[in-house]
Amino acid sequence: MPEMDTVDLETDLSLFKYDDLEQLPPAYRDLDESDRTRRIEAARAELGEEVVVLGHNYQRREIVEHADFIGDSYQLSKRAAEADADYVVFCGVTFMAESADIITDDDQTVVLPSMEASCPMAGMAEALQVDAAWAELTAAADDADVVPITYMNSYADLKAFCAEQGGLVCTSSNAHEAFEYAFERGDKVLFLPDKHLGYNTAHRLDMAGATAEWDPWDSEAADAEGVADADIVLWDGYCQVHERFTEAHVEQFREAHPDGNVIVHPECRREVVEAADVAGSTSTICETVEEADPGETWAIGTEIHLTNHLQRWHPDVDVVPLCGGACMDCNAMRQVDPNYLTWVLEALADGTERNVVEVPPREKELAELALQRMLEV
Ligand code: 13P
Ligand code: SF4
């Protein structure tokens, strides 16, 4: 494994990583939609090509309607890097804005309208906590070389930690290739933070029987013996939005729509993925509905805003939320309120940068290395 300098990972186990958090001023709290739209458009007209607005697929309609590009986290970061704009306003969550900052040029500034948009799953594997568990975990693995892989849905300091340990980043569409890359270089994989994506990937590689879970909240209960025997160790994190789907939801849908199809995100539990017709990343879900024939019925197992957008964007396809009214929106994504978008855009038009996400230089360099390794898989 390549020798690397150690890095001082300055972080704490807090929900909000950016302490220069600015709250929405009272004057922006109750804007009505038509006034807000006019003000957003006016600020955008003044800024012209200086700004690009990116909207993640899980954002609400009033946000994506103002976005220059709509997509999944990785597609949007690439759009940010390709754009010439000085300012990238990223309507998504903190880890996405960090990734955009990592891959954009140094003279581009990334703004996250609400710093409270912090993904709970990313918070389940803070770098400080992983660093502390690493010694125990590698000791439990005897002399085996453990290669850490972190899902894109993690903070930059964890991506940096993985790079430092010879590991890499993956998305939900290339996780299996990242595992193969890791097994060419080490004996075991530690996958963070999403145990479901990790387990679904282990299945895809016919390695489900060689997994063990590591509970970061109770290392005494963590299965040290299991770790010694396992090839894949799964950090016990999960996404509350995707964990909500159950096999019963799939059965109920099939009873009501015998000719319907089911597609779910691989952050869903294994039994849900097995019961579905297709499991795929956010972009696979979008492409599948886009390519469906008119009249086809698709149940979608992912964040509810995306399901609603797909319904609006493809009215000739019958798009159904997999768990009906019980489907969830993402609490973190919801923090990006359109009033915040108005506020940050008007501030930029006035020459003031608000809620800038800037990854510290050393962390950025290492996180970029972890992302580059992903591009090699
Ligand atoms: P992607 O945009 O990478 O699909 O991930 C978004 C997400 O938060 C999935 O829960
Ligand atoms: Fe995080 Fe889940 Fe929300 Fe995605 S949907 S941002 S993984 S909490």
Say how many domains are in the chain: 3
Confidence at residue 5, expressed as pLDDT on a 0 to 100 scale: 38
Same domain, 189 and 211: yes
Asked if residue 137 belongs to a domain, the reply is yes
Asked if residue 145 belongs to a domain, the reply is yes
Tell me how far apart the alpha carbons of residues 243 and 39 are, in angstroms, rounded to a whole number. Answer: 38
Distance 92 CA to ligand 1 centre (A): 10
Nearest CA-CA partner of 120 in 23, 272, 15, 192: 15
Ligand 2 atom at minimum distance from 332 CA: 3
pLDDT grade, residue 142 (50/70/90)?
A: confident
Same domain, 179 and 152: yes
Same domain, 129 and 89: no
Same domain, 94 and 116: yes
Asked if residue 376 belongs to a domain, the reply is no
Asked if residues 179 and 211 have their Cβ atoms less than 8 Å apart, the reply is no
Question: Which residue did the predictor score with more confidence, 66 or 138?
Answer: 66
Asked if residue 370 belongs to a domain, the reply is no
Report which protein residue has its CA nearest ligand 1's atom 3.
73
Q: Which among 56, 121, 155 is the best mutation to test ligand 2's pocket, defined by most ligand atoms within 8 Å of the CB?
A: 121
Same domain, 231 and 129: yes
Asked if residue 368 belongs to a domain, the reply is no
Ligand 1 atom at minimum distance from 171 CA: 3
Tell me how far apart the alpha carbons of residues 196 and 211 are, in angstroms, rounded to a whole number. Answer: 12
Same domain, 108 and 183: no
- The 10 Å Cβ neighbour count of residue 8 is 8
Ligand nearest to the CA of 73: 1
Per-residue pLDDT reduced to its tens digit, 37-62:
999 999 999 999 999 999 999 999 99
Report which protein residue has its CA nearest ligand 2's atom 5.
330
Q: Which helix (H) or strand (E) holds 365?
A: helix 361-376
Asked if residue 61 belongs to a domain, the reply is yes
Same domain, 138 and 227: yes
Asked if residue 88 belongs to a domain, the reply is yes
Same domain, 292 and 345: no
Same domain, 151 and 111: no
Type of residue numbered 291: E
- Which alpha helices (DSSP H) does 214-299 contain, by range? 224-229, 240-243, 247-256, 270-275, 282-291
Full residue range of the structural domain in which residue 79 is found: 14-121+335-361
Domain CATH code at residue 19: 3.40.50.10800
Asked if residue 92 belongs to a domain, the reply is yes
Distance 325 CA to ligand 1 centre (A): 21
Confidence at residue 194, expressed as pLDDT on a 0 to 100 scale: 98
Same domain, 100 and 153: no
196 pLDDT more than 50: yes
Same domain, 91 and 189: no
Same domain, 21 and 108: yes
Per-residue pLDDT reduced to its tens digit, 91-138:
999 999 999 999 999 999 999 999 999 999 999 999 989 998 898 888
